[in-house]
Amino acid sequence: MVATSTFGSALDQPGTAAADVRDFRKIVDEHASFIWRVLRRLGLAPSDADDASQQVFMIFAQKRDRVPEERIRSFLYGSALRVARNFRRGVERRSELAREFRHAGGADVGGPEEQAELVEARDRLDRLLSQLPEPQRRVMILVEVEQLEVAEAAKLEGIPQGTAASRLRLARARFGDLLAALEREDRERSP
Amino acid sequence: MTNRHDGAERLFQAGRDELPGRELRERLLAIELPSERRSVWPVPRFAFASAAVALATTLLLFWPTRREPPRLAAEPTADRSAAAVTPSASEAEPAPEPPRRIAPVSSAEPPAPRVAPAKRPPATLPTELDSLRRVRTALAAGDTHAALDELDRYDRELRGTQLRAEASLLRIEALSRRGDPAAASRLAAAFVERHPHSPLVDRARTFLAAPAATGSNTAEAPIPSQ
């Protein structure tokens, strides 16, 4: 059975063992935030990241029999990259309403000023990341934002560790240059 | 150099701090898990029992029909009617009418369908989006009746789940515009309590014990993109 469009509560599914549901819940709790943030940093608006996360976990739900436990994260990550690619492809077609959520996503706490700063910082982060070549950008997200070890990032990306380290080095240098240019513009604009 | 590094770290930290809304977890946990597991996790015995019962029920329902499939008029039958065409005649020239299915010989009347109607799956995301767009169009046109009708359809027929929060907010707006701020406020209070971290919560708060919403508020009613 392929559950592409049915959304009964997992806990109420009569043909599903309770252990399955518990396992699935655990996987959601362990990986959902990571996947959502990766999708965000790959350029998806919060509401799109929600939808894309749902697609990722639906793909996993269908194929989880074939995913060994130690490969769950890389499976989810790989699915997220593919789903993000499709979302980005269709982004021009989608309504401007997505942008409405762009500044409202996440579950942040704090006052309005702090919120505004965070939103601004994330916008800036995403703008800079989007100017990196895609492979460098992904390694950068995994290491700098998600704080994974280079070895783990390499594993998720399916590349040798040396390649990941090289991409990270290039990405850091490029990111630093872009940020410096942006800060220079800020200084020039400010009185 | 240090400033540059600090600046980058500040941006990375902002990225790290971002979390999905709580609704996402509910959405993910609502994903239906396929029940046909094959290898990794053991299938409990009751699953086999359920499968056996289902198989037995299926056989009981379908076995008679399968043993006596509907016959064509041209086929020889025990109770051949005068209108039946013999094989030789049908070979010699085209039959005046195409062969028609007739009821099984053992039945006086066509049997009523024995299969229970299939449970309709909840709507897909595009269907939910279309529905909520219709709500928004109705609201923008000032037709709160049509908007609320469509929201009822979303709840009852589509059984929408993926855009539940958006539908709730649109209902709040529809009630407010209909001139029922008390009902809108009640729903808004429930929304805030249930979805305290939703990106829509601030908008819902504007309906708390508030007078009827403005047109511009409605025109901006949110529907996420597909």
In sequence order, the β-bridge partners of residue B101 are B72
Crossing angle of the two packed helices B164-178 and B144-156, in degrees rounded to 10: 150
Q: Do A19 and B41 touch (CB under 8 A)?
A: yes
Q: What is the pLDDT of residues B22-43, one digit of tens each?
A: 889 888 988 877 765 544 444 4
Q: What is the pLDDT of residues B63-120, one digit of tens each?
A: 444 433 333 333 333 343 333 333 333 333 333 343 334 333 344 444 444 444 455 6
Instruction: Return the number of CB contacts < 8 Å for A and B.
Output: 200
Which backbone phi and psi does B72 adopt, to 5 degrees? -85, 155
Instruction: Give CA–CA dist B8/A179, Å, rounded.
Output: 7
The pTM assigned to this predicted structure is: 0.50
Cβ neighbours of A108 in B, within 8 Å: 17-19
Residue of A8 and B55 predicted with greater confidence: B55
Which mean pLDDT values do the consecutive 10-residue runs of chain A (191 residues) have? 34 55 89 95 88 93 89 95 83 46 46 76 92 96 95 96 97 95 86 65
| pLDDT range class, residue B55, cuts 50, 70, 90 | low
CA distance B212 to chain A (A): 23
- ipTM surpasses cut 0.90: no
Q: Do A7 and B122 touch (CB under 8 A)?
A: yes
Cβ–Cβ < 8 Å for A51, B21: no
Q: Do B35 and A19 touch (CB under 8 A)?
A: no
Sorted by sequence, the CB contacts under 8 Å of residue B83 that are 6+ apart come out as B73
Token reading at A90:
């269709």
Token reading at B126:
């595009």
Q: Do B223 and A95 touch (CB under 8 A)?
A: yes
Crossing angle of the two packed helices B2-17 and A112-129, in degrees rounded to 10: 110
Instruction: Give CA–CA dist B52/B47, Å, rounded.
Output: 9
Residues 53-82 of chain A whose Cβ lies under 8 A from any Cβ of chain B:
53-54, 57-58, 61-62, 64-65
Cβ neighbours of A21 in B, within 8 Å: 33
